[in-house]
Chains A and B, each alone.
Chain A
Amino acid sequence: MEIWRKLCELDNVAIALRDLDAGSEVLIDGERIVLIDNIRFGHKFAIKPIKSGEKVIKYCEVIGVATRDIHQGEHVHIHNLRSLRAVKVND
């Protein structure tokens, strides 16, 4: 069984297909990535460094923008990623 899946070639995140522990290693696109956080089943981690303000890509589509620098192997979720849609202007 796969333990992670990158859904589309342009993605900068992958999905854990089981609970993965911080410190474990995954090999993605020939690159060895060490997970910085525990990544729960179904959650995302960065497979490339993502700068604050940079778009986060899944399914080869924009799912939002990084609200701070995200390291490779770090959990990507509501603490460092936010929507670009239906967001109040002064937000």
Chain B
Amino acid sequence: MELKGFWTADNTVGIRNRVGVISLSVFSNVATQRISNAVEGTIALIHPHGRAEIGVNRERLHHNLIGHALNPNLQSVLLVGYEAKTTERYTQELRARTKKRIESVTVLELGTIDAVRVGTKLALELSSESSEVTREPMDFADLTVGVKCGSSDATSGIASNPAVGVAVDKIVNHGGKAIFSETTEVLGAEHILAKRAINQVVASKIVTAVKNNENLALSLGVDLMGVNPVPDNIEGGISTIEEKSLGAIRKTGTSKIQDVLQLGQLPKSPGLYFLDYPSAAQEVLTALASTGCQVILFSTGLGNPSGTPVCPVIKVTGNERTMKRIPEHIDVDVSEIITLNRTYEEAGDKIFQYLIKVINGKLTKSELLKHNEFSPVPVGL
């Protein structure tokens, strides 16, 4: 079971070696996409934000942009900014925090055409350098795995989530780190997770995170009914947020919970962590990638296609019909838990073996289909 990855200048290890071309603003998206299209080995991170965000939205955008630039799957980064001041601020912060090569180009100074010309030359240099890096041995201790579920149905709670939970236990038992999130989808199950906290302080952080989330919904005058579960969950047989949460937490396995992280904090030691963050799937994938995850396990009853620009996402379904209907969204089929009464241990081992292949270079369906969505400012709960 040998693992091999691409070591970075930060002494972290990526399971992919991409050059990130990161847009800092909606107005630099066009240049970002054109630069990335022009140079092999690069990946574009584009989003409709970066202007006049305030408060928590501004902080989340900042943490997600910085977190992605620091992700070990990126060997180096080209920032494509709109105006000079913000571009300089991000460039300086990153150069202070990483030994990876950070370059930048600014659209308002050069104009889109020349920003693309200058940026393409820089991206070519970066990608040429990163292509020299070869895979070298790594260990589970170098690995952080995100855990997520989305487009859930009733099979998620009884098949794919518990099977992913077995795989998560294996990752933790091998000395790795794992992170789950989606605070809204802990609502109704927080008492179970609190019992798994390493101490009373962490237990209380879990309960408080969920309470704050519930209070936020109430203070906005909204009711989660009709918002979460979402229509596809309801179609799949999930009736309430409690039912969804009780199914969702099964993907976290049985390990002790080491701490509750806020966006911008990285897990320091091995074990399982809870990232307190809103629950929409794409936003959570983005946040997990910003929290150092090199790969994400994603349980989906109905066959969610989402991916990220920097992390491979491994889709697991326990729904036989989904596997037949849209196999191009699914990496691991564990529907035999239902159809043949296979155990969670067998299914969890199948996921774990697949994870090792993906770490060593096998492309996931989300990568093959270029699902490179990046969503750094959540607007929902």
Contacts and interface: CB of A to CB of B under 8 A. Distances in A.
Interface of A: 1-2, 5, 7, 15, 17, 40-44, 58-59, 61-64, 76-78, 81-88, 91
Contact of A86 (B158, B241, B246): B241
A66 to B, nearest CB: 11
B153 A42 contact: yes
Ordered nearest first, which 7 A-B pairs have the shortest CB separation?
A42-B154, A42-B237, A63-B243, A83-B240, A43-B237, A86-B224, A64-B240
B56 interface: no
Contacts of B217: 86
B239 A42 contact: no
Given A15-B158, A82-B225, A61 B321 contact: no
Contact of B218 (A2, A78, A86): A86
B243 A58 contact: yes
Nearest to A76: B239
B234 interface: yes
B330 to A, nearest CB: 17
Interface stretch (B284-292, B309-317, B335-343): B335-343
Contacts of A81: 239-240
A83 B225 contact: yes
Determine which residue in B155, B242, B338 has the highest number of CB atoms from chain A within 10 A of its CB, and name it.
Answer: B242
Interface of B: 153-155, 157-158, 187-189, 192, 214, 217-218, 221-225, 234, 236-237, 239-243, 246-247, 301, 319, 321, 338-341
Given A7-B158, A85-B188, A64 B243 contact: yes
Given A7-B158, A44-B237, A86 B341 contact: no
B189 to A, nearest CB: 7
A60 B154 CA distance: 16
Contacts of B319: 42
Contacts of B224: 83, 85-87
B236 A42 contact: yes
Contacts of A15: 154, 158, 237
B218 A82 contact: no
A43 B341 CA distance: 19
Given A82-B225, A83-B225, A61 B237 contact: no
Determine which residue in B155, B225, B319 has the highest number of CB atoms from chain A within 10 A of its CB, and name it.
Answer: B225
B242 A83 contact: yes
A90 to B, nearest CB: 10
Contacts of B214: 85-86
A21 to B, nearest CB: 16
B338 A63 contact: no
Given A1-B340, A7-B158, A42-B154, A77 B221 contact: no
B12 to A, nearest CB: 38
Nearest to A91: B223
B187 A86 contact: yes
Contacts of B155: 42
A62 B223 contact: no
A61 B241 CA distance: 13
B221 A88 contact: yes
Contact of B189 (A42, A44, A61): A61
B244 to A, nearest CB: 9
A17 B128 CA distance: 53
Given A42-B155, A82-B225, A83-B224, A59 B237 contact: no
A41 B236 CA distance: 8
Given A61-B192, A78-B239, A85-B240, 17 more contacts: A42-B237, A42-B301, A43-B154, A44-B239, A58-B246, A61-B188, A63-B239, A76-B239, A82-B240, A84-B240, A85-B224, A86-B187, A86-B218, A87-B224, A88-B222, A88-B223, A91-B225
Given A15-B158, A58-B246, A88 B218 contact: yes
